[in-house]
Chains A and B, each alone.
Chain A
């Protein structure tokens, strides 16, 4: 606790570091029990919840999870659907039957062509492939036609969103932009003007640069006030 108070930052751990010993703690995500000690097997922030110690990664490639809302780029068209690049280590596929409306095979390229960005949800994560879907009773799926795209590290997305969307709603309110955050680190910003979009982009980049800082919400509010300028 003293360390946190000194720097206002969370504790970082490296692979192989002993993070707890004895039987008082249980190994959580990205940790391993070796004899009496619990060691970290990944670089990240150390978190202790009751008796469980776990590592929250702050860098690296996106790990797909079922139900994640992601933004992807169309890489290829096959007769059954689209191959989508979502930044995961495995190939993601959007089948025709999981798309909105009825689509003929001949119309496919007109609907989503190669290079188009689409907002989709992960239906299933298999061992070495990912299934995508748009057929859910939710809004916001489909092709991205306007606005700006910002790419950040996917492990820093939870901080950008905040607890129950608190952080992102502060930015939305302050910048007047509509922001859609994909869990894979792609963020879609639609604003009334380019200046507002850049303002939102800079605010998100500020959060990304200060991911491991404690009490980030207050700092972001302060940053938004200081950098407001003549926008809106």
Chain B
């Protein structure tokens, strides 16, 4: 085995340790009209999730008599980034709707809610990378707060590889890093109790052995986030 080359990325832009997360704050019950809601802020990335339902599903032909339906809507608010985002459905938001739905469905006990629909609306107030992960974290909190039966909680984090260094919870500045091998972005969602992964995407390139390292870093980061989610729910009253 050859001696491992040194990574060009030796210090993070915001001075964090490589495995350190940004400052996280979470709170449930922020939207009074929703059945359940939560705000999840991870550094400069802020997501609000509101849950409506279980409620009657119209049109009736789309109802599933065996189990409920989970619908996710993700949207970046027009002022969330420096360049105005055009509101409405985009190719990117459709993708995130689908992957968020897939990330959440394994834990939500939809078989207890036949013929109904549960709507999850995720809005990004401010974005600085990792919005789909912040959205999943907020949605998991909001679903629990709405009293939806769930097997367990979901936690999500974005792992990055800057040149040859694995870092947890990337920022936009890091996502745009170009030196050496460049930046790789791996958003993942993890079930801390059953130790399963429900979301795993990869943008960039990575070696198989580095990928294993990234997964382990992601699991550790998700466990930390799960503790924060637990605290937010337990101290909401």
Q: Which residues of A contact B (CB under 8 A)?
A: 9, 12-17, 30, 32, 39, 41-44, 57-61, 89-91, 127-128, 155, 211-212
Which chain B residue shows the least CB distance to A210?
B237
Smallest CB–CB gap between A97 and chain B, Å?
A: 24
| Complex interface: chain B residues within 8 A of A58 (CB) | 147, 237
Closest 10 CB pairs of A and B: A60-B147, A16-B152, A15-B150, A89-B54, A128-B115, A43-B144, A89-B116, A14-B233, A59-B147, A16-B193
Smallest CB–CB gap between A153 and chain B, Å?
A: 9
CB–CB B234/A16 < 8 A: no
| Complex interface: chain A residues within 8 A of B150 (CB) | 15-16, 41-42
Smallest CB–CB gap between A135 and chain B, Å?
A: 26
Smallest CB–CB gap between A44 and chain B, Å?
A: 7
CB–CB A155/B147 < 8 A: yes
Assembly CA distance A155 to B145 (angstroms): 12
Among A41, A211, A212, the one with the most B-chain Cβ atoms within 10 Å of its Cβ is A41
Q: Which residues of B contact A (CB under 8 A)?
A: 35-36, 53-56, 65, 107, 109, 113-116, 144-153, 193, 229-230, 233-234, 236-237
CB–CB B237/A212 < 8 A: yes
Assembly CA distance A212 to B233 (angstroms): 13
- What is the number of contacts between chain A and chain B, taking CB atoms within 8 Å? 81
Known: A58-B237, A61-B55. A30 touches B35 (CB 8 A): no
| Complex interface: chain A residues within 8 A of B237 (CB) | 9, 12, 58, 211-212
Assembly CA distance A58 to B144 (angstroms): 11
Main secondary structure of the interface of A (DSSP, over half): loop
Which chain A residue shows the least CB distance to B229?
A14
Which chain A residue shows the least CB distance to B55?
A89
CB–CB B145/A43 < 8 A: yes
CB–CB B116/A43 < 8 A: no
Query: Which of B55, B114, B146, B234 has a CB less than 8 Å from the CB of A59?
Result: B146
Query: Which of A17, A30, A127, A212 has a CB less than 8 Å from the CB of B149?
Result: A30
Among A13, A16, A41, A90, the one with the most B-chain Cβ atoms within 10 Å of its Cβ is A16
17 contacts across the A-B interface (CB closer than 8 A): A12-B237, A14-B233, A15-B107, A15-B150, A15-B151, A15-B153, A16-B107, A16-B150, A16-B152, A30-B149, A32-B151, A41-B150, A58-B147, A61-B146, A61-B147, A89-B113, A91-B56
CB–CB B233/A12 < 8 A: yes
| Complex interface: chain B residues within 8 A of A32 (CB) | 151
Assembly CA distance A43 to B37 (angstroms): 13
CB–CB B56/A43 < 8 A: no
Smallest CB–CB gap between B67 and chain A, Å?
A: 12
Assembly CA distance A34 to B102 (angstroms): 23
CB–CB A43/B54 < 8 A: no
Which chain B residue shows the least CB distance to A43?
B144
| Complex interface: chain B residues within 8 A of A12 (CB) | 233-234, 236-237
Which chain A residue shows the least CB distance to B109?
A41
| Complex interface: chain A residues within 8 A of B147 (CB) | 42-44, 57-61, 155
Known: A61-B35, A89-B55. A128 touches B114 (CB 8 A): yes
CB–CB A43/B233 < 8 A: yes
CB–CB A61/B151 < 8 A: no
Assembly CA distance A89 to B147 (angstroms): 13
Smallest CB–CB gap between B32 and chain A, Å?
A: 11
Assembly CA distance A192 to B230 (angstroms): 46
Known: A43-B145, A59-B146, A60-B148. A14 touches B56 (CB 8 A): no
| Complex interface: chain B residues within 8 A of A9 (CB) | 237
Assembly CA distance A127 to B236 (angstroms): 33
